[in-house]
Amino acid sequence: MGSMDYIQTIVKLLFWIIEGIGCMMIFKKCNVESKWAFVPVAREYYLSRCADREKDGRKYAILVGLEIILRIPFEFSPQDSMQKGIIAIFVLIIVLTEYLYKLRIFYGLCMVFEKRKRWMFAWFFVESITAVIWGRSDKFMPKKLVEKIDLDAGARLSGAKAESIEKGLTVNINERTTIDFFKRKYLLKDIHLNIPEGHMVLLLGGSGAGKTTFVNAVTGYEKADASILLNNNDIYTQYSRMKYDVGFVPQLDLMRGNDTVLRTLSDAATLRLPSGVSLAKRKKRVNDVLEEFGLAAIRNSLVEKLSGGQRKRLSIAMEFISDPSLFILDEPDSGLDGVVARGLFEKLRSIADTGKIVVVITHTPDRVIDLFDDVIVLAKDASRTGRLAYYGPVKEAYDFFGKDSMEDILLSINQKEEGGEGRADEFVEKYADAMAEAERKAG
């Protein structure tokens, strides 16, 4: 590296530091931790948050990260290598795409700080100097601050723990966290409950309340800081064996339209049944499930020719093929009319009556609520974390929330910005107090 290269590197570093100082002052104004101003990639992301362009910022930050990664082999590869030329093309494409996101973010800054659009060009061509001007001057103040979620806010912890039951599901989730663009985020916290065998349970909660995360944690698909026991067997530590005892039916099926019903269910049996099951037993199980779900008469029909109700029954049959003790379904009535949906839920009720645990997510619970034993209500507390607001018999849920329908219960716990009453924390703590009182009386 020659002297000119050293000078260029020092100048680039100097401007990067100047820009960091400017961003640090802007971040303070926008309610962002100033430390991120000197962290590559994080700086770009948080500047986008100041511009109220969080989604653009995620993409922009990823592009900046890729550019940094690609420039390392570019700088150290031989001057005449073909690899360097290919990398240079990729870097150029990334940089040009970055410019598009930069303009969107700079435009957002102008809107948030209520400044003329021409400042976009100042940001684009002399970003470091512009950042210092905006950071130092009191004439540049944001009209909207970055929302800062307090992870310690929200409803207090219950301090409860569900005692393991011999026949049924025991859930003790302490927390489920993730790292989301430099932020630790709580998805679930403090969820403890028992579901006896033979119960059909409604899983109720608004958007973002953690229903899918809860299901993933219970099935072992995404492990949490938790203990999940099914008939006193640990799903996490014995997953290779217990996975056959847990069935999950997603909202969207993955069936091939040009396969027959029989072929579809036979393939499911190959995947879902343990490898030690003989071919004869596998065929018998397929025939038994075809009969049980009313699919025997159409066993040779193509999947693409099935009605909505038939297709949904086949989707459920594919997971039921392993005869699971715990059966979880995500909106099995999606796209079905009232009569067909009712028939489907009556089938699920009959499955629960054989001693299975059936947990169902549905957006139209009131039309079939009489078929459920219990309801789990998840709600987002003030820290946007999924919490347990109620678990127990359906009839008692109406009294607990002071509502006449599941839809009204859902409205009571939804955030106000979502059209709800914003009472999630109230009911989370009310339920925790009720459980503590029940434990005190039992002890």
Task: Tell me whether strands 326-330 and 357-361 are parallel, antiparallel or unpaired.
Answer: parallel
Residue 260 — very low, low, confident or very high, per pLDDT cuts 50/70/90? very high
Lowest mean pLDDT among 148-152, 313-317, 400-404: 148-152
What one-character DSSP code corresponds to residue 85? Answer: H
Distance between CA atoms of residues 141 and 52, nearest Å: 14
Degrees to nearest 5, angle at CA 328 with 323 and 332: 105
**pLDDT of residue 12 exceeding 90:** no
Residue 4 — very low, low, confident or very high, per pLDDT cuts 50/70/90? low
Residue 5 — very low, low, confident or very high, per pLDDT cuts 50/70/90? low
pLDDT reported for residue 152: 64
Give residue-wise pLDDT tens across range 273-330.
888 889 999 999 999 999 999 999 999 999 999 998 899 899 999 999 999 999 999 9
Residue 166 — very low, low, confident or very high, per pLDDT cuts 50/70/90? very high
**pLDDT of residue 155 exceeding 90:** no
CA dist list (Å): 379 to 191, 293, 360, 426, 434: 11, 34, 17, 11, 17
**pLDDT of residue 392 exceeding 90:** yes
CA dihedral over 231, 289, 199, 412, signed as positive or negative: positive
pLDDT reported for residue 81: 67
Specify the CATH number for 168-442; select among 1.10.287.110, 3.30.40.10, 3.40.50.970, 3.40.50.300: 3.40.50.300
CA dihedral over 384, 387, 393, 395, signed as positive or negative: negative
pLDDT reported for residue 440: 76
Distance between CA atoms of residues 321 and 364, nearest Å: 27
Instruction: Retrieve residue 266's tokens.
Output: 């036979």
Residue 123 — very low, low, confident or very high, per pLDDT cuts 50/70/90? very high
Q: Which phi and psi angles does 231 have, rounded to 5°?
A: 55, 40
Q: Domains of the chain: which residue ranges?
A: 3-136, 168-442
Question: Average pLDDT over the chain, rounded to whole?
Answer: 90
Residue 205's Cβ-side half-sphere holds a number of Cα atoms within 13 Å equal to: 31
pLDDT reported for residue 69: 87
Coil/strand/helix, residue 403: coil
pLDDT reported for residue 382: 87
Query: 391: Cβ–Cβ under 8 A, 6 or more apart, which residues?
Result: 193, 374, 375, 376, 377, 431
